[in-house]
Amino acid sequence: MTDRPVTIKKVYPLPPGPVKMPPPFFCLFTFLFNSSNGLEPLLLENFIHLCGKLVFKTAGLGIPSSLIEVNRKAMCSPFLKNWETTSLGNNIIINYSIIKEGITPYPPERKVKIIMKHFDEYTAAVVQPRMRSVAHRKEIQPLLQRYLQLIDYVTDEGAASNREFAPVKLIAFPEFFLQGYDSRWNLKKILKDIAITLPGEETEALAQRARQYGIYIAGTVLEIDPYWPDRFFNTALIIDPRGEIIHRYRKFTVATYLGEISTSPHDMYDQYVERYGETLEAFFPVTDTEIGRLGTLICMDANLPENARALALNGCEVLIRMNAYPEPLVSAPFNYWEGQNRTRAWENLLYVVAPNIGLFEADEPSPQTMCPGHSMIVGYDGSVLAETPYPGEAATSALINLSLLRKRRKEIGRNFLVQLKTEVYKLIYEKPIHPINACAEKPYQDAKDYMQREPLQSTIEEFIKKGIFAEPRPL
């Protein structure tokens, strides 16, 4: 574990138009960090108001103190006239200001250098659970209790054999681990009974374990964003050791042709950009933490090399790929699962932490081993570091060595990221391929609705017309 300067990236959602502030006031606080580069600004807006003071949470920024308490006299506002500049622990200098009603409080992306503790060597673990699809969100709790037991096992005595010199710092669960998924569900059912908002009681139980063990926990949920209540997202999240959700990624390449009807940000591109901005970070976020720069993909996302490459060029060092990856894609003779994980790691010089479902207990005609496990952790050289090569409930772990990764990235040989000839490659994507805003006005209602509205067949026909694909000859 070492002290060194790192770059923190924080992106805030930008809703369209003015924002009405909650009563009685809303404060915009500018913090100045005494970093190695001098004083640099950052906005913190995650706070609670308690008995005449504000408690600011600094989770995800790597600041040693988990909370900064601010007295009311240190505020500047139309309601509280007295204010002063205050120094708090670790030489953090804080300035306060107020923003009046009707002004959008969200700043552009800021990059701030601070000194933080880093674990250059640590243990990452994948949990491969037995999973089932819930009929109602109240059924999440029994599943969650088992997952909490598995977290206890991994951190206390189980899969993490390296824990003494490289403590367990990351535990990853697969796609759908909390709620499952049933392709027969329609949108109304999911919104009414299945999807959850973040944070919530479900994530709070995981947050408690994160705080207890000082670990990061990753998984996916079917999420309703109150900003867009007519649809849901398949969302990857990371909870940090303070119990805060510090990372949120929405599945970009949704398996709609298999009955998944979550919305991709690309399906509502204009609205998404209006709120979050047209940046790589908006679609493929990377979160800087004490265990490296973490990025996430969900299952089918990793079929397209562009998605992992987007994360790599955004600084990702540890790619957490959460999956419900089915047969016949996992086992021989295809072995696509292992091939993809190893290739994404090798071509981007990053670790791939890839949990898969071990058994899928669903009331469907498909076998329970449709998703047959084979969870794995892959090194930045493409080698499999740990694997559970069988179905069923399991867990395994491997050592993550950020020092070696960063040294490797400074070498020229087979460093493919620095060999990208983008002036020519951009011609590949000069013209749009997949239709944008495919369900912006009306989200897909069910699998049948998608098949009636699906945009891919017209793209295939256009490829044939342009000579990209060839029409098959009649027999």
pLDDT of residue 457: 87
Q: Are residues 107 and 138 in the same domain?
A: no
Q: Are residues 106 and 135 in the same domain?
A: no
Q: Are residues 79 and 228 in the same domain?
A: no
The CATH number of residue 276's host domain is: 3.60.110.10
Is residue 20 included in any domain, yes or no?
A: yes
What is the gyration radius of the CA atoms in the chain, in angstroms?
A: 23
pLDDT of residue 151: 95
Is residue 462 included in any domain, yes or no?
A: no
Last residue in a domain, options 378, 401, 419: 419
Q: For the chain, give the number of residues.
A: 475
Q: Which residue has the tokens 């060597």?
A: 121
Number of domains in the chain: 2
Last residue in a domain, options 91, 115, 139: 115
Tens of pLDDT, residues 298-348: 999 999 999 999 999 999 999 999 998 888 888 889 988 999 999 999 999
Q: Which residues pair with 294 in a beta bridge?
A: 287, 318
C-alpha separations of 183 from 257, 263, 369, 384, 437 in Å: 10, 15, 17, 32, 23
Q: Are residues 149 and 108 in the same domain?
A: no
pLDDT of residue 160: 54
Q: Are residues 374 and 231 in the same domain?
A: yes
CA atoms of 93 and 299, how far apart (whole Å): 43
Residue 386: how many CB atoms within 10 A of its CB?
21
Is residue 23 included in any domain, yes or no?
A: yes
Tens of pLDDT, residues 124-162: 999 999 888 888 999 999 899 999 999 999 987 655 555
Q: Are residues 110 and 128 in the same domain?
A: no
Tens of pLDDT, residues 370-406: 788 899 999 999 999 999 999 999 999 999 999 999 9
Q: Are residues 246 and 375 in the same domain?
A: yes
Last residue in a domain, options 79, 95, 115: 115
Q: Are residues 238 and 285 in the same domain?
A: yes
Q: Are residues 316 and 244 in the same domain?
A: yes
Q: Are residues 81 and 99 in the same domain?
A: yes
Is residue 175 included in any domain, yes or no?
A: yes
Whole domain around residue 204: which residue ranges?
121-419
Q: Are residues 99 and 195 in the same domain?
A: no
Is residue 222 included in any domain, yes or no?
A: yes
pLDDT of residue 329: 84
CA atoms of 73 and 400, how far apart (whole Å): 45
Q: Which residues of the chain have pLDDT under 70?
A: 1-117, 157-164, 362, 364
pLDDT of residue 166: 85
What is the distance of C-alpha 444 from the center of its chain?
23
pLDDT of residue 117: 62
CA atoms of 321 and 341, how far apart (whole Å): 9
pLDDT of residue 132: 86
Instruction: Determine phi and psi for 115, rounding to 5 degrees.
Output: -95, 130
